Amino acid sequence: MSAHKIIIAIDGFSSCGKSTLARELAQKLGYNYIDSGAMYRAITLYFLRNYVDYSDPGKVLDAIANINLSFVFNEQDQHSDIHLNDEDVEPYIRDMIVSEKVSEVAAIRKVRSFAVGQQKRMGRKKGIVMDGRDIGTAVFPDAELKIFMTAEPEVRVMRRFKEMYATNQHITIEEVRHNLELRDYIDSNREESPLRQAEDAILLDNSGLSREEQLEIVLEWVKDRATNPQAATTPAP
């Protein structure tokens, strides 16, 4: 593969495996992985911990002024963890209470402006993989490779349920289904940078794909774009 480094933008619905694919791609390519979802979850965690009334624009601005986000490589797990004001909050940002509020917080214009500004700075040197809801449409509209991930709703529900059940054995499938449906609605209908597929993004439905299969497919797309950044959109499988 050419040494030419590119930006890989991965968008899509919740529990489609965006973060898993992005991490594996970054590790395979030697790229930096930026988890935009973790950033919004960390901001949400700060709001919850500090009882921030995020319906009040002034209080949102005051809160953001006190938030410092960074990614720190975890030697044990071999991936980057999100740090909130120098605290590793990776173990807390997946809690249901954060999951229930993160779409509302992420829909706030000032919050998105704050996060997107940081994300754009992180991508200046290229060689990054970032996943989220608006990476290919708002954060990096000129990314060389844009992927929009999706999967059948029940496949997503079961993936999310298994993930959450590992740490919360009281969670129910109905709670997970309701949370995903609500997040899909909020993400797709918010006024600020709604979830949508970029016109030049490649659709990847991984309902019937293993992690290994989807990684192999996407690595071919990366190879194509890294050697020919101006290439036309590769047909979806």
Whether pLDDT at 2 is above 80: no
Spell 94-122 as b/e; 16+ CB within 10 A means b: beeebbbbbbbbbbbeebbebbbebbeeb
The DSSP code for 149 is E
**Average pLDDT score, the chain:** 90
On the 0-12 / 13-18 / 19+ scale of CB atoms within 10 A, 224 is middle
Contact partners, residue 197, CB within 8 Å, separation at least 6: 11, 148, 203
- Edge-to-edge, what's the strand order for the sheet holding 79-84? 69-74, 79-84, 87-88
Cα 236 off chain centre by:
21
pLDDT digits (tens, 9 = 90+) for 36-90: 889 999 999 999 999 999 999 999 999 999 999 988 877 787 778 899 999 999 9
pLDDT recorded at residue 233: 46
What does the pLDDT read at residue 80? 81
Q: How many CA atoms are closer than 13 Å to the CA of 86, on its beta-carbon side?
A: 1
- Residue 232 confidence (pLDDT) above 60: no
pLDDT at 158 over 90: yes
pLDDT, one tens digit per residue, over 173-229 is 999 999 999 999 999 998 888 999 999 999 999 999 999 999 999 999 999 998 876
- Residues with Cβ within 8 Å of residue 158, at least 6 apart in sequence: 173
Taking 60 as the threshold, does the pLDDT of residue 1 lie above it?
Answer: no
